[in-house]
Chains A and B, each alone.
Chain A
Amino acid sequence: MSRDKTPHIKLGDIMETLRAKIIVGQDKLDLPVKTGCASDLMSDMLRGPTNGSVLLTGLNNIQVIRTSVIAGVVAVILIRDKKPAPEIVSLASEHGLPVLSTPFTMFSSCGRLFNKGLRGIE
């Protein structure tokens, strides 16, 4: 049982809000997302309480997937319509980590999700 008061939103809601395409994890649209974080710095991701969080990032490399696995991130959202390379898709699938791609910029993506009720990891 989760003890925090913030309502979780589902990955499917995030997908809709960000008009995102789902690249990995079509079967996980019901996944609850606790918080959001946005970063291009992987070491920053390793600092905070990122478990159960969705990661918005402009980085598009295999370390995003490994960092997310270590940091307990539940889904990765690539901004500005970035398309992941096949090895990224394959590693994410191996770990059951959903990957989405949104046409919005980092700022607009964060704003849209905040409006929808998603909060940061503070």
Chain B
Amino acid sequence: MPDLQRSFKVKFNDFMKAGDVSVQIQSILKAIGFEPALIRRVSVCAYESEMNVVMHGGDGDVLLTVGPKSITVDVRDDGPGIDNTELAFQEGYSTATHEHREMGFGAGMGLPNIKKSADAVEVNSKKGKGAHLKMTFKVE
């Protein structure tokens, strides 16, 4: 049994709310009292993937699971899926629109940042069938 599990909804194209789920996750982890460096890694990954859902995904949900030895963030969306996972993880590769770039995103650093910050990343995606990103962080 996990110590804590919380799920959140993310809405496609809702830029006013985008990032709010990750800010909530950050406060939950702060309230539990994890190390700041771990909180930063989890929050950054949650935020990058939440922005991906808002910008590219579709409607989705985020599931935070806090266990005794790990924290997991599962992000699922019902969007168009990731066409080429290898390319998506390549620094600088981006399918962002002009609107995304105007907001300071779309530099092709989202998934590379996630890969750098999480202890393990699993991606399951099929074209036209959404995406599932599972990020795991070890709790020392």
Contacts and interface: CB of A to CB of B under 8 A. Distances in A.
A66 B20 contact: yes
Contacts of B113: 43, 46-47
B36 A51 contact: yes
Interface of B is mostly: helix
28 contacts: A41-B109, A43-B48, A43-B109, A44-B107, A46-B47, A46-B48, A46-B113, A47-B113, A47-B116, A57-B104, A59-B103, A59-B104, A61-B104, A62-B16, A63-B103, A63-B105, A64-B104, A66-B18, A66-B23, A67-B19, A69-B23, A70-B22, A70-B26, A70-B43, A71-B40, A71-B44, A72-B36, A87-B16
Contact of A66 (B19, B107, B109, B116): B19
A63 B104 contact: yes
B81 interface: no
Nearest to B26: A70
Interface of A: 39-44, 46-47, 51, 57, 59, 61-64, 66-67, 69-72, 87, 95
Contact of B110 (A43, A64, A87): A43
B34 interface: no
Given A46-B47, A63-B103, A70-B19, 5 more contacts: A43-B110, A61-B102, A61-B104, A63-B18, A64-B104
Nearest to A41: B107
A99 to B, nearest CB: 16
Contacts of A51: 36, 40
B104 A70 contact: no
Contacts of B19: 63, 66-67, 70
